[in-house]
Amino acid sequence: MIGLAPDRRKTLDLVQRISVAGRGGVTAPVFLEDVCGAVAEAFDFDSVAAMRYDTEAEEEREIAFAGRAPADRADREPTASVSLLAEARETENLALVSAGDVALAFALPLISGDRCLAVLYGTRGGTVSPPETDWDALASVGVIAATLLEDALAREEMSEHDMLKSEFVALAAHELRNPLSSIYGISVTLDDRADELADSQRVTLLDALREQTTRTRNLVEQLLDLSRLDLAAIHISPEPLLLRPKIEELVRPLADARPDAVRIAVRSDLEAVVDPAALDRMLSNLIANSLRHGKPPVTITAEGQDRHLRLAVEDRGGGVPREFVPRLFDRFARSSESRGRGDGSGLGLAIAQAYARAHGGEIVYEPAMPHGARFEVVIPLRGYGDTQRVIERSDPRHRNRIH
């Protein structure tokens, strides 16, 4: 048996402890808390925290912590040194704060591939004499912890995806059940009691049957649409398109009963390179949504700006209730008012958004002025073969083409 030097033994024990912590499908915060505890103990730091940079809030967030801290730690302000964390992220290497020969703090980035998954941040006080720190050992621990952390994050992502899928199937089944129950009930009534029914009753039932069948068919089409989008089975093929005739074509069946309800404020010579099918799905869902939930006039505008095509659908209704805005594009999301009326499946905006994203863009909502709802489709302009470019031609026929 080969004897190991005490330092080497300590490092191997630490590596083993971290490897064990990563087993058994633990979540990232639980794993990191174990890593923080192990590192604090092995390297004699008072506390070690795991920090992640929140790109939306543009600030460091503590996601795990181990060590000594005041009792009221929950109320304290963030403790980590922003400059030290920034240095570790930038250099992708261990960064230290020292006073003389003593390291008082370290920041160790946990890097996997080209991503910094988190930064371990440790501090110690100055009243005791700390042992000499084996920085190479700490760096090795960082590599192992990063690998295991990536596994934990991938597991979390997968589990979230599974959860969303199950939720989607449950909601889809629930939404299909209502019209199918009506169809079944009407069919049974017509079959069993046809002789007892007056003509007017039969007509009413047949109308309801048609309405519910149409609703079911639309819902199934929407579900198939989403399923194809989820599988990335829809290919976006941009091609030059004169926008106004295309929009007029889309509006015609939607505003059939109320021809004056929709105004198209788009120049007749405005041309863009977009996928016609995606444009159809995005606009028809937005227009149908405005006609159903808003109030006329519904106005459609389009312009090319900042290398993006901006298509807006605006109505003069009451707008989207503020509390519902964060869930506006969620699948099966319906405001309480809409749910009460029993109209719409709550999939239209989700589908429109999915098409916009497949096109590399986004649909954004904002309240219209002075009142109403305004949905804007913003998609990057493309040239043929997916190459982004702006083509300026002297030929006046092409002056308004947007790429």
Partner 1 sequence: MVEIRVAIEDTTTAPTLVRRLATLFDRAAISFDRSHREVRVESEWESHAVMRVVEVVQAWLSEDGAESATLSIGDRSYTLETSTPLGVGR
CB 301 within 8 A of CB 311: yes
Decide whether 64 or 105 has the Cβ nearer to partner 1.
Answer: 105
* Using rule CB under 8 A, residue 46 touches partner 1: yes
Rule CB under 8 A: say whether 98 interacts with partner 1. Answer: yes
- Residue 232 CB contacts under 8 Å (≥ 6 apart), including other chains: 358
190 is a contact residue toward partner 1 (CB under 8 A): no
* 370 contacts partner 1 (rule: CB under 8 A): no
End-to-end Cα spacing for the chain? 72
Q: Is 285 in the site for partner 1 (CB under 8 A)?
A: no
Does residue 194 contact residue 209 with C-beta atoms inside 8 Å? no
79 binds partner 1 (CB under 8 A): yes
CB of 125 to partner 1, least distance (A): 3
Decide if 359 contacts 335 (C-beta within 8 A): no
Q: Which is nearer to partner 1, 46 or 362 (CB)?
A: 46
Under the binding rule (CB under 8 A), the answer on residue 198 touching partner 1 is no
H helix intervals, 268-378: 276-293, 336-341, 348-358
Q: Closest CB to partner 1 among 104 and 251? A: 104
Choice between 46 and 269, CB closer to partner 1: 46
Span from 128-136, 176-184, 217-225, 388-396 in contact with partner 1 (CB under 8 A): 128-136
> What is the C-alpha to C-alpha distance for residues 262 and 314, in angstroms, rounded to an integer?
10
Q: Which is nearer to partner 1, 82 or 163 (CB)?
A: 82
Instruction: List, as one string, the DSSP characters of 285-305.
Output: HHHHHHHHHS-SPEEEEEEEE
Q: Which residue in the set 33, 87, 175, 314 belongs to the binding site for partner 1 (CB under 8 A)? A: 87
Closer by beta carbon to partner 1, 99 or else 198: 99
For partner 1, the binding residue among 30, 63, 69, 171 (CB under 8 A) is 69
309 binds partner 1 (CB under 8 A): no
| Euclidean distance between CA atoms 271 and 242, whole angstroms | 4
Sheet holding 262-265, edge to edge: 262-265, 298-305, 308-314, 373-380, 362-367
Which x/- pattern, by CB under 8 A, does the window 138-157 give for partner 1?
-x------------------
In the complex with partner 1, which residue's Cβ is closer, 85 or 118? Answer: 85
The reply to whether omega before 276 is within 30° of 0 (cis) is no
Tokens of 49: 């925290």
* Interface with partner 1, residue 352, by CB under 8 A: no
Residue 261: other Cβ atoms inside 10 A: 19
Which residues are at the interface with partner 1 (CB under 8 A)? 45-47, 68-70, 73, 76, 79, 81, 83-84, 87, 91, 93-100, 102, 104-105, 107, 123-129, 135, 139
